[in-house]
Amino acid sequence: MLMLWIKTLHIVLVASWFAGLFYLPRIFVNLAMTPPGSIAERERLLLMARKLFRFMTPIAVLALAFGLTLWLVYGVGSGSGWLRVKLLVVVLLLIYHGWCGVTLGRFERGVERHNHVWFRWLNEAPVLLLLAAVALAVVKPF
């Protein structure tokens, strides 16, 4: 029974983490579109981005902790190929999460130079990673 609660919390936390991974790059799109003289708008967007990043980071840590518990304590997916690939997807998500933090810092320092189109394309990465993670966990293709 405890395993089912851990799995439930893992799923809810992963969904919450992805909400942040979907929305933070959208804030980057808006920051990249902010006219140079719009200081109040820029500061408001930076505040939103900082708060979101600070909120989603502990959620990511908890999601990982519950996922690792399912794997290492309960043996979910042990020895299967799909889990190895899913772990690769998780590593890519962690890299993406870190990139979001670095990008936020670049916006705060005023040195980010990518345009809004670039951020729109990068905003699609977590969608593809979510699709891969869910498909691997549900279909277990190998």
Token duo for residue 83: 């889990």
Rounded to whole angstroms, the Cα distance separating 126 from 36 reads 29
Token duo for residue 1: 């029974």
The per-residue pLDDT for 24 is 98
Q: How far from the centroid of its chain's Cα atoms is residue 60's Cα? A: 7
Taken as a whole, the chain contains a residue count of 142
CB 70 within 8 A of CB 10: yes
The per-residue pLDDT for 135 is 96
The per-residue pLDDT for 64 is 98
Rounded to whole angstroms, the Cα distance separating 89 from 63 reads 14
The per-residue pLDDT for 60 is 98
pTM, to two decimals: 0.94
* 32-66 as b/e: b if 16+ CB within 10 A: bebeeeeeeebeebbeebeebbeebbebbebbbeb
The per-residue pLDDT for 131 is 97
The per-residue pLDDT for 39 is 97
Angle at 96 between CA 100 and CA 16, to 5 degrees: 80
Low-confidence ranges of the chain (pLDDT < 70): none
